[in-house]
Amino acid sequence: MISQSQQIKMQQKLTPQQIMLMNLLQTPAMLMEQTIKEEIEKNPLLEDDVDTTDHADDYTNETVSDEYSNLEPYNDFDFEEYMYDDEPSYKEALEYDKDQDRDAMIPFAAEASFQEQILEQLNLKDITKEQQIIGMELIGNIDSAGYITRSIDAIAYDITFTSGIEVSTHDVEEVLRIVQSLEPAGIGARNLQECLSIQLHRIEEESRSKALATIIIDKHFESFTKKHYDKIMARMKLPESDLKSALELIFKLNPKPGTQYEIETEPTQYVVPDFFVSQSNGELSFSLNVNYPSLKISKHYTGILKEILANPNPTKSQRETATFIKDNTESARWFIDALRQRQQTLEKVMKIILNYQKNFFLTGDKNYLRPMLLKDIVEKTGYDLSTVSRIINQKYVQTNFGTFVLKDLFSKSYVADNGEEVSLVAIKNLLLELVEAEDKQNPLSDEELVKIFSEKGFTLSRRTITKYREILKLPSARLRKELKG
């Protein structure tokens, strides 16, 4: 049975101006110049305010804005037909991904991937056509660290299925040894033990250290990874000095040989600060990085619009030209207004952050960081959470003590025994300092760290210490232990 009903729904839609502002708020300083350049190239009504001649006019010129609304001769056609049809939707605006945008905006020179470079080496080997097919499949399965993590059985099955060549696991393993003979040493290994073993066996110079290191990796790998050095010395009947020289050789090996190509081919990324913080006589001040041109609306095009408006019987071509100028002028005004709003919004947020974290910006000591959440900035600025989040994202602040990621200044609070609220960043920083200053031959256990924190007025459980240690990527005490020098 068909029925009708009425419903009232609340639906939020973003205007093109709001979408433009959101995107600009999220754009870091390092990409602003490129963003503006692209907008100038896209919109002929926008001009870089470099030339001070009469070719451009400030967008605030009221005469120009009056001309937009005075389009009475064109009431017989629909300007909407000529509006942009590529404005992002509300959903697209919310899904805006700045990381992807950055990749698209920064041009890098294209270079061969490390798989291609390894394949070039394989092609120089005297191998059969079948071995070449197997080799290509193996190299295609090498991950960014340089390892083959898929099983040999699965790779053999794939070759048989896709190439129609029946190969055995023995055939694949035979070609795998060829791949593992390529550069860099350790490439194509199936695990860390095999990776280190390949590199040790490739060292041409024979020495006692090499022989001992090879035995440790090939026969005592589990004890090595757990730093059970006493067991290794007992089983191999080694003095500590011999073990130390063998370990020094092992630690010189590359556990991720694939990263060698990443270093060679990955373009250098430079950090461009969005804010500059300085201090004088205990007072802080900051400035926004606005190293991009000021913009104006082209007077040349507004002059054309005046001429068309003066014509009582414009042609179709003239009407289309008027629409083009009108639409692009509005877009240009939106963009310039969005730039101004971006600057005002970033300055307002940074001022609040500076007041919150004054002691940190004066000293550079992370232990002075106060607990600070996004909602604290929201409450003081009146901006919504998504706006503040966009402002914080991918922004850097340069101080006298170095350059910091803005979002790293935010953290939850921990209440000390004396009732004082302390930033969790300060807690983690203290943990890092304790581990760095410990006796490496007698590293602090998590239980001992709990006691030290308690003495300093922080009651933390061993589980919490372990969690923070893992977040900081600090190994356990046993794995931090070093032999005597």
Q: Are residues 78 and 136 in the same domain?
A: no
Asked if residue 184 belongs to a domain, the reply is no
pLDDT tens digits along 202-223: 999 999 999 999 999 999 999 9
pLDDT tens digits along 268-327: 567 889 999 999 888 999 999 987 778 888 888 888 888 888 888 888 998 899 889 889
State the pLDDT at residue 12.
52
Torsion of CA 187, 188, 192, 194, to 10 degrees: -100
Q: Are residues 23 and 99 in the same domain?
A: yes
Report whether pLDDT(100) > 50. Answer: no
Alpha-carbon distance of 46 to 43, in angstroms, equals 6
Q: Which of 4, 30, 38 is nearest to 335 (CA)?
A: 38
Report whether pLDDT(41) > 50. Answer: yes
Report whether pLDDT(58) > 60. Answer: no
Asked if residue 318 belongs to a domain, the reply is yes
Q: What are phi and psi of 147, to 5 degrees?
A: -105, 155
Q: Are residues 168 and 131 in the same domain?
A: yes
Number of structural domains (the chain) is 4
Asked if residue 223 belongs to a domain, the reply is yes
> pLDDT exceeding 70 applies to what percent of the chain?
82
pLDDT tens digits along 243-254: 999 999 999 999
CB 423 within 8 A of CB 360: no
pLDDT tens digits along 170-204: 999 999 999 999 999 999 999 999 999 999 999 99
Residue 13: CA count within 13 A, CB half-sphere: 7
What b/e sequence results for 82-121 when a residue is b if at least 16 CB atoms lie within 10 Å of its CB, and e otherwise? eeeeeebeeeebeeeebeeebeeeeeeeeeeebbebbbeb
pLDDT tens digits along 317-365: 988 998 898 898 889 999 999 999 999 999 999 999 999 999 999 999 8
Q: Are residues 238 and 317 in the same domain?
A: no
Report whether pLDDT(122) > 60. Answer: yes
CA-only gyration radius of the chain, Å:
32
Last residue of a domain, one of 129, 154, 179: 179
Q: Are residues 34 and 98 in the same domain?
A: yes
Instruction: Supply the mean pLDDT for the chain.
Output: 81
Asked if residue 359 belongs to a domain, the reply is no
Task: Place 431 in a pLDDT band, splitting at 50, 70 and 90.
Answer: very high
State the pLDDT at residue 273.
92
Query: Which residue segment(s) compose the domain that 208 sits in?
Result: 193-255
Q: Are residues 170 and 212 in the same domain?
A: no
What b/e sequence results for 199-211 when a residue is b if at least 16 CB atoms lie within 10 Å of its CB, and e otherwise? bbeebeeeeebbe
Alpha-carbon distance of 416 to 419, in angstroms, equals 5
Asked if residue 283 belongs to a domain, the reply is no
Q: What are phi and psi of 182, to 5 degrees?
A: -85, 175
State the pLDDT at residue 367.
85
Q: Are residues 173 and 235 in the same domain?
A: no
Asked if residue 43 belongs to a domain, the reply is yes
State the pLDDT at residue 465.
92
Last residue of a domain, one of 203, 234, 255: 255
CB under 8 Å, gap of 24 or more: what pairs does 452-459 form?
456/430, 457/416, 457/417, 457/418, 458/414, 458/416, 458/417, 458/422, 458/427, 459/417
Asked if residue 89 belongs to a domain, the reply is yes
Q: Are residues 199 and 249 in the same domain?
A: yes
pTM: 0.56
State the pLDDT at residue 286.
95
Asked if residue 136 belongs to a domain, the reply is yes
